């Protein structure tokens, strides 16, 4: 007999004399180390024939309270020794009936002709669609779960008490540290750069220390476009934009005597980051003072040493006498200030679009569509459900705290909440299927062959591992392209994602229907990658790269400079965020950048939704490959001055859960 979950002892040595075994767990199963586990044995004297469904009744009993119970699975062993497994892994709340079907994955076509199973699929989806409703949070945003708070979610989608407690304790600890140091309510400029390092003295890491030491180095500025928290914005530049009139003479000193700007353009060694999306985004007041935002352009060069170095920066989209092009040859603090403005722009594009939009709110739509359109027996449901864990909870928590009026965007960022709402809506218009599919994105941006690009190296290994798993699963359950086309549940699922996440925008390139097995494999790979690895890459390093605030400011208090030669260290201190604004942001990032307990790393599936041997063999092979990737990353990192570990599979979550 197999174990019901990691909390149950194995019982292979017991004789198979029980026709029916049910594994129930009380609510404590999620919350304590020694859970309450009950095994119910039911004898049946006669042969029941081929089993399709089982029903579990939870009824009121005397004066006992109406609590919730979690069923892992039901396992039936016949007198002939045949076993049936009925996966559940869901809560039965209150009193009622839970109907489960045998665990083999089945598409709608597989159930054709069986009225009982077809009706079960239909009823299951009807109930789910009633329980998981859509709502609009803000105009132009992906739609989200209709829940006013996490209390409105069912137990299947809530954090465990353990996870909630650790999350709250970390938040309280960060707040307490700042209060003890007197930073939380301190307005005004930092007295010195050194004082900034005192914000979180006890949260220092090798990466935060490296950032504090090297934040002004040009090669580290470029490094962050490859291996920082927003490694998806830099593109190859084959022609200097007309609104960014960099001349060969301007950059000759940086390029050296052996080459020219035109030659480097032809070689494919010139790159650009363009923050045009920030144009016209409104800003707010912090501590009663105006904040500022820019929409800069930055030109970069891949040197023969394999380093990406900034060549030129313009702090607006409109060239002219009041929008000078800043160069590495400019006075020290002029060039430093220009880079600070670019880093601040990068913060907003990363935090709002790369992180919140693409890694949280799009993944929420993938989760809700899976719950609404695919029954538990569907192979795509079984494949995706581990990658939806806690996503509804963390996103609902974000909407009721992080991005609500008076939240951290109103306390610490240049845009405030109103500007953030508009920026994310612009991000929806700009997001494409190409940008979400890693191989396509790398080729489209012209960065597929860059050296020292660890996000690409590790990301592609994980993408390919997921792709191999998905290909195997799709081959098992879809024998032809026509089978994909004919699966109305699958087609309803992808169409709901197209309409609710991407608002039906054909310009996004997101499919509204799937016509072939290859298209299904690619779409599923994208979803699994974005819910796990991509989120880890753009989330887990936030505190590491922002703890030294001048490297990643969320706001600036003076307008972009219109002339050169006026910047000083004091003027930069007067431009950087005030003390309390800095602390409000870093307090949050110190919590959300790290998994608050209850980790399920990529490929770890303790809930066995697939019961057949073939898909479980594919999963086992997937897990072996992920372990190999983790070891390869560990070996690589030993040779690096700053480790890149954000895509190490053993530290990547299966789902967006923090």
> Tens digits of per-residue pLDDT, 497-515?
999 999 999 999 999 999 9
pLDDT tens digits, 104-150: 999 999 999 999 999 999 999 999 999 999 999 999 999 999 999 99
Between CA 552 and CA 540 the distance in angstroms is: 15
CB 281, CB 419: distance < 8 Å: yes
The answer on pLDDT for 32 being more than 50 is: no
- So what's the pLDDT on residue 57? 84
Of 650, 566, 552, 567, give the one whose Cα is nearest residue 602. Answer: 650
- Give alpha helix (H) positions in 65-202: 115-131, 161-181, 193-196
| pLDDT at residue 580 tops 60 | yes
Q: Which of 234-238, 524-528, 588-592 has the lowest mean pLDDT?
A: 588-592
Tell me how far apart the alpha carbons of residues 58 and 99 are, in angstroms, rounded to a whole number: 11
**What average pLDDT does the chain have?**
90
Q: Is the pLDDT of residue 103 over 80?
A: yes
With 0-12 / 13-18 / 19 or more C-beta atoms within 10 angstroms meaning exposed / middle / buried, residue 635 is exposed
| pLDDT > 60? residue 70 | yes
Distance separating alpha carbons of residues 632 and 626, to the nearest angstrom: 10
**Which pair of structure tokens corresponds to residue 225?**
């476009």
Please report the pLDDT score of residue 20 as a whole number: 55
pLDDT at 222 over 90: yes
Query: Of 364-373, 400-409, 516-525, which gets the smallest average pLDDT?
Result: 400-409
pLDDT over 90 percentage in the chain: 76
Per residue in 539-554, pLDDT tens? Answer: 999 999 999 999 999 9
Task: Tell me which of 159 and 555 has the higher pLDDT.
Answer: 555
pLDDT of 262 > 60? The answer is yes
pLDDT of 167-209, one tens digit each? 555 555 555 455 545 666 789 999 999 988 877 555 788 999 9
3-state secondary structure at position 271: strand
Predicted confidence (pLDDT) at residue 309 exceeds the cutoff of 80: yes
pTM: 0.93
The yes-or-no verdict on residue 1 having pLDDT over 50 is: no
Task: Output the pLDDT for position 441.
Answer: 98
Q: Is the pLDDT of residue 48 over 90?
A: no
What does the alpha-carbon distance between residue 348 and residue 421 come to, in Å, rounded to a whole number?
12
Q: What pLDDT is stored for residue 10 in this prediction? A: 33
Rounded Cα distance, 150 and 198, in Å: 35
Asked if the model's pLDDT at residue 24 lies above 80, the reply is no
Q: What is the pLDDT of residues 312-371, one digit of tens each?
A: 999 999 999 999 999 999 999 999 999 999 999 999 999 999 999 999 999 999 999 999
Is the sign of the CA dihedral 427, 388, 157, 377 positive or negative? positive
SS3 of 423-466: the string is: HHHHHHHHCCHHHHCHHHHHHHHCCCCCCCCHHHHHHHHHHHHH
User: What's the start-to-end Cα distance of the chain, in Å?
Assistant: 35
pLDDT of residue 89 exceeding 80: yes
Indicate the pLDDT class of residue 590, thresholds 50, 70 and 90: confident
Residue 588's pLDDT band, with cuts at 50, 70 and 90, is confident
Q: How confident is the model at residue 164 (pLDDT cuts 50, 70, 90)?
A: low
Which carries the bigger pLDDT value, residue 161 or residue 96?
96
Give percent of the chain with pLDDT exceeding 70. Answer: 88
**Given pLDDT bands bounded at 50, 70 and 90, which one contains residue 33?**
very low
Predicted local confidence at residue 294, as pLDDT: 98
Confidence check: pLDDT of 656 > 70: yes
pLDDT at 412 over 80: yes
Q: How confident is the model at residue 36 (pLDDT cuts 50, 70, 90)?
A: low
| Mean local confidence (pLDDT), 267-284 | 98
Cα–Cα distance list, 171 to 175, 210, 417 (Å) = 6, 25, 21
């Amino acid at each position: 007999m197999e174990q019901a979950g990691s909390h149950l002892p194995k019982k292979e040595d017991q004789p198979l004399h029980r026709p029916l075994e049910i594994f129930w767990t009380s609510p404590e199963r999620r919350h304590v180390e020694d859970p309450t586990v009950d095994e119910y044995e039911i004898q049946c004297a006669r042969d029941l024939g081929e089993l399709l469904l089982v029903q579990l009744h939870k009824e009121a009993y005397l004066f006992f309270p109406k609590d919730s119970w979690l069923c892992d699975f039901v396992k039936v062993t016949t007198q002939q020794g045949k076993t049936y497994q009925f996966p559940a892994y869901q809560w039965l709340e209150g009193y009622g009936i839970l109907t489960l079907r045998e665990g083999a994955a089945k598409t709608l076509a597989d159930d054709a002709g069986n009225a009982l199973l077809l009706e079960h699929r239909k009823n299951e989806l009807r109930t789910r669609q009633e329980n998981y409703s859509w709502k609009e949070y803000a105009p132009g945003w992906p739609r989200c779960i209709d829940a006013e708070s996490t209390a409105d979610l069912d137990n299947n989608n809530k954090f465990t008490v353990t996870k909630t407690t650790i999350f709250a304790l970390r938040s309280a600890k960060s707040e307490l540290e700042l209060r003890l140091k007197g930073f939380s309510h301190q307005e005004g400029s930092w007295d010195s750069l050194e004082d900034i390092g005192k914000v979180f003295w006890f949260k220092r890491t090798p990466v935060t220390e490296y950032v504090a030491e090297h934040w002004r180095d040009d090669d580290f500025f470029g490094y962050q476009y490859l291996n920082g928290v927003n490694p998806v914005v830099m593109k190859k530049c084959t022609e200097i934009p007309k609104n960014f009139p960099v001349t060969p003479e301007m950059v000759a000193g940086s390029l050296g005597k052996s080459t020219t700007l035109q030659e480097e353009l032809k070689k494919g060694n010139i790159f650009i980051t363009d923050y045009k999306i920030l144009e016209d985004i409104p800003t707010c007041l912090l501590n009663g003072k105006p904040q500022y935002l820019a929409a800069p352009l930055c030109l970069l060069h891949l040197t023969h040493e394999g380093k990406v170095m900034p060549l030129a920066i313009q702090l607006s989209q409109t060239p002219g006498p009041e929008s000078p092009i800043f160069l590495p040859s400019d006075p020290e603090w002029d060039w430093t200030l220009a880079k600070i403005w670019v880093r601040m722009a990068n913060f907003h594009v990363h935090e709002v679009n790369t992180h919140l939009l693409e890694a949280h709110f799009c993944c929420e739509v993938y989760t809700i569509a899976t719950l609404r359109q695919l029954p538990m027996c569907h192979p795509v449901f079984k494949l995706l459900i581990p990658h939806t864990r806690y996503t509804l909870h963390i996103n609902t928590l974000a909407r009721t705290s992080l991005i609500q009026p008076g939240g951290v965007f109103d306390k610490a960022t240049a845009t405030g909440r109103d500007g953030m709402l508009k920026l994310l809506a612009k991000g929806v218009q700009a997001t494409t299927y190409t940008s979400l599919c890693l191989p396509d994105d790398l080729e489209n941006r012209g960065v597929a062959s860059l050296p020292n690009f660890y996000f690409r190296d590790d990301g592609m290994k994980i993408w390919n591992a997921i792709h191999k798993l998905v290909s195997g699963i799709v081959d098992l359950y879809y024998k032809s392209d026509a089978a994909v086309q004919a699966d109305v549940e699958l087609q309803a699922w992808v169409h709901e994602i197209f309409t609710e996440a991407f608002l039906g925008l054909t310009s996004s390139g997101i499919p509204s229907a799937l016509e072939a097995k290859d298209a299904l494999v690619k779409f599923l790979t994208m979803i699994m990658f974005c819910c796990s690895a991509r989120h880890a890459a753009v989330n887990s390093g936030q505190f590491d790269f922002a703890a030294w605030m001048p490297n990643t400011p969320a706001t600036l208090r003076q307008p972009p400079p219109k002339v050169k030669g006026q910047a000083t260290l004091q003027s930069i201190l007067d431009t950087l965020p005030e003390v309390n604004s800095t602390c409000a942001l870093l307090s949050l990032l110190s919590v959300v950048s790290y998994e608050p307990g209850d980790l399920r790393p990529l490929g770890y599936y303790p809930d066995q939704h697939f019961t057949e041997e073939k898909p479980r063999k594919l999963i086992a092979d997937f897990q072996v490959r992920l372990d190999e990737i983790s070891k390869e990353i560990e070996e690589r990192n030993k040779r690096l001055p700053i480790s890149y570990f954000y895509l190490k599979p053993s530290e990547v979550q299966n789902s967006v859960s923090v």
